[in-house]
Structure 1
Amino acid sequence: MPKPTHILVIRLSAMGDVAMTVPVLRVLAQTYPELKITVLSRPFFKPFFGGIPNLDFLEADVYGEHKRFGLIKLAKEAKDMEIDAVADLHNVIRSKIITKYLKFKGLKTATIDKGRTEKKRLISSKRENISQLKTTHQRYADVFEKLGFPIDLEKHIAPPKKKLSPKLNGLLGIESKKLIGIATFAAYQSKMYPLSLMADLIRDLDETDKYRIFLFGGGKKEIQLLKKLENPFANVTNVAGKLTFEEELALISNLDLMLSMDSGNGHLAAMYGVPVVTLWGVTHPFAGFVPFNQPESNQLMADRKKFPLIPTSIYGNKFPSGYEEAMKTIAPETVVQKVRELL
């Protein structure tokens, strides 16, 4: 079988997982400039891939037009684009249906190995000595190697910062200060830093008068909480609900640092080469979800001596009673010290 010339890359959700494909695809495009890439994902994620050469985007409406048997229609659309290989970076029922159909049509296919066995072993381990698993970024890269396109993720070249609109420049102000983004929420309470402690660390950063701090989030309840968090501080701006998604991405690309939970915003910042400090609760960086190219020293973890069953799950959705308190073992002073050290 000849070497592919046009790869369909499937990753339908979630936001952080789709964002993690971006630096990998950037390296793929840089390494093989003659290769055409088409990303199949949800329309909302299309802005992630701007600026990657030779990359097209195919929109998947998995709850509408492409629901159920519509997946075959979607696969046919891809085939009509002269796709000759498939990289399934998702490995769920929807992506499997598309991949199997295209394989039946004679296309070369490769699917991600999510490492379920070793991840299960990681969360069931009660030993002190847990070990680092392969990163999700490398698992993505392995799929392309199976298709004949090995890549070296260390050769990644971060993109330039996005141009700021007058609206965003207005948010930044005229004073020359370091820009910090803080994403205060996560999918599960067990992965979220207590808001009272977050207020303490924001106060410490605000009082230095060296930083402009932007709070990121979404949803009515979150926006209300962020408004309360913003109010007491002169250098803090809540941008949740005030910017389009493209504007948020532009602002994130211009940050000097992002402080995030184990959540999507950390991956958004990392795909632009922004330093990310991640706070970990009942999940753990060893599971392979550290934002791209971020050192171990930027991972601030809950105390495993007090909470020895961490990681209690891969995604933070399962944990024993009392473990929702794990994040409290990360002192605000520790976070502030790390931020100031990096800036």
Structure 2
Amino acid sequence: MRGSNKILVIRFSAMGDVAMTAPVLKELMRNYPDTALVVVSRTLFKPFFNDIANLSFHPFEPGHQHKGFWGLIKLFLELRKHQITAVADLHNNLRSKILCLLFFLTGIKTAKIDKGRQEKAALTRKHHKILRPIQLTVVRYAAVFKALGFPFELKNTIKERQPETLKPERFPFIPLPKTKKWIGVSPFAQHKQKVYPLQKTEIVLLALANSGHQLFIFGGSAGEAETARQWEQKHENIISAVGKINLEEELKLISNLDVMLSMDSSGMHLASLKNVPVVSVWGATHPYAGFLGYGQSINDAVQTDLYCRPCAVYGNVPCYRGDFACMNNLQESVVINSVLNKISDGEKNTISQTR
């Protein structure tokens, strides 16, 4: 690798948070092309960084060789071999703090992300809520590099899509060549408070499929695969990609979408990586907390105005009202029309560019 600066970037999980680091690192490298990066994260997330120049990926295996305190010591010794000159902690959890301390004790400059916990607490508290947008997570990431002496400006805009070639032998379940508008749907999330009720999601899917568009369902777990399979059987325009392709192939498929319909989950961030516009659905959480996809517009965030929203930053807090009104009161027609309007906007942009 070139240059004398080599920055270690730490972000172990979760998938969406790791995905959000990639566009920030691309902007960093545009401004400092002679700087080298070493990203340490879970092996699964390596494809997020495949197209970033002058970057090497170091796998983190918490369940195996990097398990526990002595596993972190082993990881530190592995990372030292990269001849790190600075450490950017984009996670700021116990593991990353230990790594930073070890590097600091060897004379390496470190900086960590400010998660804005007080602002987020004011945004999500039950009484005297302060409902206003706080700093985007990607901006917080960029601030870590500024603290290390690498300031740069985030453009935070969606660029032109660059669809990747889909080889039929790797995607036998996909109708190729593409003859319809493709809509990705990422209807699942780690916490149920972020999930649009599945019976309402099914109504949305069938309406979009009946409009003549091709839908692809994305997910990960066995339960999600079964739900997606059931939807797939209800309309010829609905295809499940769950469990059929790996993450790298999933990103290739996403690059060919015209729009992604996603919860506040990793699907939104994977689409953002590929410059695909996202219609996002928000329940217990809120775009104001700073997790809107890179380059996405809050105008494409579908949500219900309620005095209790947001009640959680990550959607891991049960609804204290008991009626889950933030999602249950969100009409299916609003979601459907938001997706169809986004596709229509894309068609208008395509027409204007060809004139």
- What corresponds to 1:179 in structure 2? 182
Decide whether the 8 Å contact of 1:23 with 1:156 is kept in 2.
no
- What corresponds to 2:310 in structure 1? 311
SS in 2 for 1:24: helix
- What corresponds to 1:101 in structure 2? 102
Query: Separation in 2 of the partners of 1:279 and 1:4?
Result: 44
SS in 1 for 2:295: coil
Query: Of the candidates 181, 189, 195, which is equivalent to residue 198 of structure 2?
Result: 195
* Shift, 1:76, TM fit: 1.9
* Shift, 1:126, TM fit: 3.9
Q: Give unpaired runs (5+ residues) of structure 2.
A: 344-355
* Shift, 1:287, TM fit: 0.5
Decide whether the 8 Å contact of 1:189 with 1:324 is kept in 2.
no
- What corresponds to 1:206 in structure 2? 209
Decide whether the 8 Å contact of 2:157 with 2:294 is kept in 1.
no
Question: How many aligned positions are there?
Answer: 337
- What corresponds to 2:125 in structure 1? 124
Query: Separation in 1 of the partners of 2:113 and 2:71?
Result: 23
Query: Separation in 2 of the partners of 1:125 and 1:312?
Result: 7
Query: Separation in 2 of the partners of 1:78 and 1:173?
Result: 44
Amino acid at match of 2:36: K
Deviations 1:274-321 (A, max 9, x none): 1011100111111101111111111111331xxx21111111111304
Structure 1 residues 89, 42: CA separation in 2 closer, same or farther (over 3 Å shift)?
same
Query: Separation in 2 of the partners of 1:127 and 1:178?
Result: 45
Decide whether the 8 Å contact of 1:27 with 1:155 is kept in 2.
no
Structure 1 residues 23, 70: CA separation in 2 closer, same or farther (over 3 Å shift)?
same
* Shift, 1:266, TM fit: 0.8
- What corresponds to 2:351 in structure 1? none
SS in 1 for 2:208: helix
SS in 1 for 2:245: coil
* Shift, 1:64, TM fit: 1.6
Q: Give unpaired runs (5+ residues) of structure 1.
A: none
Decide whether the 8 Å contact of 2:36 with 2:54 is kept in 1.
yes
* Shift, 1:73, TM fit: 1.9
Alignment of 1:1-343 (within 5 A): 5-67=5-67, 68-124=69-125, 126=127, 130-154=131-155, 158=159, 160-166=162-168, 167-168=170-171, 171-209=174-212, 211-304=213-306, 308-318=307-317, 319-343=319-343
Amino acid at match of 1:178: K
Decide whether the 8 Å contact of 2:183 with 2:215 is kept in 1.
yes
Query: Separation in 2 of the partners of 1:104 and 1:156?
Result: 39
Relative to the length of structure 1, the TM-score reads 0.93
> Aligned Cα RMSD in Å?
1.8
Decide whether the 8 Å contact of 1:191 with 1:316 is kept in 2.
yes
SS in 2 for 1:69: helix
Amino acid at match of 1:237: I
SS in 2 for 1:139: helix
Task: Tell which deviates more after alignment, 221-230 or 154-163.
Answer: 154-163
Decide whether the 8 Å contact of 1:4 with 1:147 is kept in 2.
no
* Shift, 1:169, TM fit: 7.1
SS in 1 for 2:174: helix
Query: Separation in 1 of the partners of 2:234 and 2:146?
Result: 51
Amino acid at match of 2:308: L
Decide whether the 8 Å contact of 1:282 with 1:323 is kept in 2.
no
Task: Tell which deviates more after alignment, 64-73 or 120-129.
Answer: 120-129
Decide whether the 8 Å contact of 1:190 with 1:326 is kept in 2.
no
Query: Separation in 2 of the partners of 1:165 and 1:282?
Result: 39
